[in-house]
Amino acid sequence: MLGTFAFAISGIRHAAAKHFDWFGGYVCGIAVAIGGGTIRDVMLGTTPFWMTTPIYIICTGIALLTVAFFGKWMEPLKNAWFVFDTLGLALFTIAGIQKSLAFGQPFWVAIIMGCITGSAGGVIRDVLLNNEPVIFQREIYAMACVLGGVVYWVGVELGFPIELTAIVSFVTTCLIRLLAVRYHISLPILKGEER
């Protein structure tokens, strides 16, 4: 729920920066909160998770009201929201991996599904806001999900308890994301012809 709330807040805050109305803000918030998991569940051939309980819809509504009424006091907390967003990214990545494995998918598929679960909602948000998706920018985002997924796979292969494996994967994903932003670490840039 913390990850869902943080993701919804991030989408709604981006919408507020572009002066969207409440409905537009809610759509952006729900896109981030459930977008990645919905794509994952459709690809796995199961009912999208948010259709089994209204809690995600309610959580996004609470996030909308939080931004609407306390937005001006939230601006100094943008670093804290970045941390929550990172926590949500790591949690959703692990959830995507575990659900994919539960459906009998091989590990390489599970890692991709973890990445989709963690980062696809942000892509949908950016498309709705007509922004360049964050995964295509220099900032390490989706790669943190992939590397965290690889750590999860290694832990399982080495026979570590699932709880320990999940914790190490979670910490790895968070650290990669936080350190990449803190020290401006990015992947190499492709060189092409100027047009």
∠ CA(24), CA(74), CA(92), 5° rounding?
65
What gap in Å lies between CA 180 and CA 185, rounded to an integer?
A: 4
Query: Measuring CA to CA, which residue among 177, 179, 156, 176 is closest to residue 166?
Result: 156
**pLDDT higher than threshold 90 for residue 99:** yes
As to burial, measured by CB atoms within 10 angstroms (0-12 exposed, 13-18 middle, 19+ buried), residue 79 is exposed
**pLDDT higher than threshold 80 for residue 34:** yes
> What confidence score (pLDDT) does residue 77 get?
76
> What confidence score (pLDDT) does residue 3 get?
78
Q: Which residues pair with 186 in a beta bridge?
A: 139
Query: Measuring CA to CA, which residue among 168, 143, 173, 171 is closest to residue 155?
Result: 168
Quote the pTM value: 0.91
Confidence band, pLDDT 50/70/90 cuts, at residue 81? confident
What's the rounded mean pLDDT across residues 183-195?
81
